[in-house]
């Protein structure tokens, strides 16, 4: 059987979609094709199993002491994309499996079962210690099919509550692991519901809304302490050729190599004699935590006085986006509170997350305690990579003892 077709099938097995692509490619190389006629025994209760069976075509019926005890007869019939034998692992089979139709299975021998337990959801062969901070942030723990757990790392950006970009990036990572990897995200829409707690894990539950030939849709609910704090809708599409045009162009700005990074800007501000000593002391006392994404500003970016790969980009898009709507209202001594309310991204073209991108942001309006921001990301060639919108809550800061649990 053609290995390309085997790989395409394995990518659609829900149980395997939590694995990194490198593991799936290895699985495609070692699985064995086995065929059975109607009524033929695939495995018998009490025998030693050959491995893990993935149903390519046909249906099977499971009977035996283990299945009878479950008492749920709807679970006794398995069809395409289902699997059995995973718990056996070379031990005695606990049930009998019989083909109900002409049956084709892909069998993973027990000697390769370690491929089902990679060191991360992104890399099969690399230990977590070798990953960057950004990869650590997006590295989720698979709990079961469509269920993942994420954490806020001590070195990750935090703003009293879970950073909104972290929720977007981790939720998109969870959704991506449940979709055929031939499909890429082309749009996402997120709603921030409650402020997340930095010290509590985040559970991401993925809902498979639709799986079509060209498109797939996922909804992801992020939960803490039993409450949904964030919801993301994402649409994925198989890459295809089509009409193309672009009516917006790359602005004339300095090359990124000519600009200062965040830490260099901070040092310059600490030594700026035009700023008050009180303000400079405040900046000096504040612990500086480098961002996991390097950002350099084409225009001078003020910390508190008036002045702007896809999961990685989704994470980075929230770092400075909403704050732009505050710029016209900043003045000395004014304390402002801001929170993301909703966030949308359209991915127009493929992109490398390890190269420079220009993020152009504007805020056309603010009213009713909400600020609206529009954004575009360009690559070095001037191609429009992403379009973004965000609405955020912007208010004069409340007293610290007021309730911050709800964002509304």
Residues taking part in catalysis: 318, 340, 390
Backbone phi, psi, residue 400, to 5°: -65, -20
Distance between CA atoms of 320 and 295, rounded to whole angstroms? 10
Element (H or E) spanning 222, and its range?
strand 215-224
Task: Let me know: does 208 contact 81? Beta carbons within 8 Å.
Answer: no
DSSP 77-102: EE-TT-EE-TTTTTSB-SSEEEESSS
Alpha carbons within 13 A on the beta-carbon side of 287: 7
Task: Let me know: does 361 contact 378? Beta carbons within 8 Å.
Answer: no
Query: How many residues are recorded in the chain?
Result: 408
Among 405, 343, 340, 403, which Cα is nearest to 200's? 405
SS3 content of the chain, % helix, strand, coil (to 5): 25, 35, 45
Alpha carbons within 13 A on the beta-carbon side of 75: 10
Distance between CA atoms of 354 and 382, rounded to whole angstroms? 16
Alpha carbons within 13 A on the beta-carbon side of 200: 16
Distance between CA atoms of 220 and 175, rounded to whole angstroms? 7
Other beta carbons less than 10 A from residue 181's beta carbon: 17
Q: What is the DSSP letter of 161?
A: B
- Three-state SS for 228? strand
Q: Which two tokens stand for residue 392?
A: 């955020």
The residue behind tokens 């939960």 is 223
Distance between CA atoms of 148 and 218, rounded to whole angstroms? 14
Distance between CA atoms of 136 and 156, rounded to whole angstroms? 9
């Amino acid at each position: 059987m053609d290995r390309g077709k085997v790989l395409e099938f394995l990518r659609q097995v829900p149980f395997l979609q939590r694995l990194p692509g490198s593991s799936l490619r290895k699985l495609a190389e070692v699985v064995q094709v086995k065929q059975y006629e109607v009524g033929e025994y695939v495995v018998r209760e009490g025998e030693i199993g050959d491995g893990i069976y993935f149903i390519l075509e046909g249906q099977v019926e499971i009977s035996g002491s283990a299945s009878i005890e479950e008492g749920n007869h709807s679970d006794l019939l398995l069809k395409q994309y289902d699997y059995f034998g995973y718990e056996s692992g070379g031990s005695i089979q606990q049930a009998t499996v019989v083909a109900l139709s002409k049956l084709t299975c892909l069998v993973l021998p027990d000697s390769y079962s370690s491929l089902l337990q990679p060191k991360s959801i992104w890399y099969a062969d690399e230990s977590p210690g070798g990953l960057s901070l950004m990869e650590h942030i997006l590295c989720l723990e698979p709990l079961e099919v469509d269920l993942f757990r994420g954490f806020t790392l001590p070195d990750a950006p935090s703003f009293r509550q879970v950073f909104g970009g972290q929720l977007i990036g981790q939720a998109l990572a969870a959704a991506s692991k449940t979709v055929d990897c031939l499909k890429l995200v082309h749009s996402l829409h997120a709603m921030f519901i409650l402020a997340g707690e930095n010290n509590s894990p985040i559970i991401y539950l993925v809902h498979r809304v639709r799986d079509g030939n060209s498109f797939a849709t996922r909804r992801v609910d992020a939960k803490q302490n039993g409450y949904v704090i964030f919801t993301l809708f994402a649409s994925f599409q198989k890459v295809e050729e089509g009409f193309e045009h672009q009516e917006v162009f790359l602005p004339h700005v300095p090359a990124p190599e000519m600009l200062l990074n965040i830490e260099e800007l901070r040092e310059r501000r600490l030594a700026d004699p035009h700023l008050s000593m009180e303000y400079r002391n405040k900046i000096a006392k504040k612990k500086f935590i480098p961002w996991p994404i390097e950002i350099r500003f084409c225009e001078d970016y003020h910390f508190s006085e008036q002045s702007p790969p896809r999961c990685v980009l989704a994470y980075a898009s929230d770092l400075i986006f909403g704050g732009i709507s505050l710029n016209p209202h900043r003045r000395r001594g004014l304390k402002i509170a801001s929170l993301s309310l909703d966030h949308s991204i359209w991915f127009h073209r493929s992109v490398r997350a390890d190269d420079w991108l220009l993020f152009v942001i504007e805020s056309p309006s603010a009213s009713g305690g909400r600020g609206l921001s529009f954004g575009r990301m360009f690559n070095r060639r001037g191609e429009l990579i992403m379009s973004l919108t965000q609405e955020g809550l912007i208010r004069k800061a409340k007293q610290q003892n007021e309730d911050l649990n709800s964002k509304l």
